[in-house]
Amino acid sequence: MSRPVPLGVAMIGYAFMGKAHSNAWRNVASYFDVPAFEQKVLVGREPEQVAEAAAKYGWSEAATDWREVIARDDIDIVDICAPGWMHAEIAIAALGAGKHVLVEKPLANTLAEAEAMVAAAAAARARGVQSMVGFNYRRVPALALARELIAEGRLGTIRHVRAAYLQDWLVDPDSPMTWRLRKETAGSGALGDIASHAIDQIQHLTGHTVLEASGVLKTFVAQRPGPHGLEDVTVDDAVWATFWLTGDMGASVEASRVAAGQKNSLRIEVYGTDGALTFDLESLNELNFLDATAPVREQGFRRILVNEPEHPYMDAWWPQGHVIGWEHTFTHQIRDFLLAIRNGEAPSPSFDEGLQVQRVLAAVEESASNKSTLTVVDHKSFATVEGA
């Protein structure tokens, strides 16, 4: 259980995601009514670098041993921005120590790790300790509005969804090796890194769950320059997958980190019997909506600028038409996590939801390996579909 506020926050990891999360912690209380907290300590492996980052990003102190930090009595929340291979060990230890835990997506590198994290979260929840996985795109106001419109029945029965998450930061074959290109540290490539966002969105927006999956993984650049010469790339550069979901709904996902010219484009299209929605992360303040029940002469997609005070999260920000950016999704995420802790409510996406996405990722990977369609059985195991 937490001490009385202010809550003490420790964050583990200070690179790309650490910078994004630090920005959110530093700003959230300026715009939202959240419980009081303190940015206590930033944890990283390199003493000088983490100390510099802590000073720059607003943390009171720096440390290099996360185990010592989570044992401290003045720490109530642990925010895990470390690489995927560290998620399970840190999260399970932190939950066991009675700390609320936020962990970046995907939940873990393996299904077994994710299942162990869910078990730890369930035990902690019984003691009032909360946990959440960071699928931050749920907090894009336009996508939150899309979910509301779908839930209100404005699209009728959803028939199919298309999602494509495309980036180009690995187009150059001479781009150097990083931990994101090694299976032992990253778990997977484009599949876990960005396709996981698309899969979570498909299920979250529609309220339906993947039942069957088939996929293809491709590594276009087999070796990349490392500090000691060429190294084998052991994860995928791109993935193509198709799904069948509850509600007799189909979906497709394409994800690539070698799509020339695409910087960070998550495009989502939702098609129903009464309407449709389209969205692109590179225009994240906009949602396109089609009302198919209108007279034919009036039909056509209309652009909604999601900047009104009545739109999700937007009453805290600027006058209408003054757009927000990618970094605000993390501020919204921290806001929702803090409110869940204050109210004693389980936040979403929970570790259970993260595990469900992990099962879909594992199904796609297995399908790509044996060239078959996989059924997610009770969301706990996979079985090859006969005749696939």
DSSP-assigned beta bridge partners for residue 216: 240
Residue 331 lies in a domain: no
Regarding whether 123 and 221 lie in a shared domain, the answer is: no
Taking the model in full, what pTM does it have? 0.94
Regarding whether 226 and 273 lie in a shared domain, the answer is: yes
In the structure encoding, which two tokens stand for residue 292, read together? Answer: 């198919």
Residue 41 lies in a domain: yes
Q: What is the pLDDT of residue 131?
A: 98
Regarding whether 295 and 177 lie in a shared domain, the answer is: yes
CATH of the domain at 50: 3.40.50.720
- The total number of structural domains that make up the chain: 2
Regarding whether 284 and 166 lie in a shared domain, the answer is: yes
Residue 285 lies in a domain: yes
> Could you tell me the pLDDT band of residue 4, with boundaries at 50, 70 and 90?
low
Percent of the chain topping pLDDT 90: 93
Smallest Cα–Cα separation from 187: which of 90, 87, 284, 287?
87
3-state helix, strand, coil in the chain (%, to 5): 35, 25, 35
Last residue of a domain, one of 136, 160, 182: 136
Residue 283 lies in a domain: yes
Residue 107 lies in a domain: yes
- In sequence order, the 6+-apart residues with CB closer than 8 A to the CB of 373 are 212, 213, 214, 367, 384, 385, 388
CATH of the domain at 222: 3.30.360.10
**Is the confidence at residue 94, as pLDDT, over 70?**
yes
Last residue of a domain, one of 110, 136, 162: 136
Regarding whether 128 and 59 lie in a shared domain, the answer is: yes
The tens digit of pLDDT for each residue in 28-61 reads 999 999 999 999 999 999 999 999 999 999 999 9
Percent of the chain topping pLDDT 70: 95
For residue 230, the enclosing domain spans: 141-322+359-366
Smallest Cα–Cα separation from 159: which of 71, 242, 274?
274
Regarding whether 45 and 151 lie in a shared domain, the answer is: no
The CB density around residue 201, as the number of other CB atoms within 10 Å, is 26
DSSP state of 13: -
Regarding whether 235 and 168 lie in a shared domain, the answer is: yes
328 or 388, higher pLDDT: 328
Regarding whether 289 and 181 lie in a shared domain, the answer is: yes
Residue 379 lies in a domain: no
The tens digit of pLDDT for each residue in 268-285 reads 999 999 999 999 999 999
**Across all residues in the chain, what is the average pLDDT?**
95
Residue 185 lies in a domain: yes
Residue 309 lies in a domain: yes
Regarding whether 158 and 123 lie in a shared domain, the answer is: no
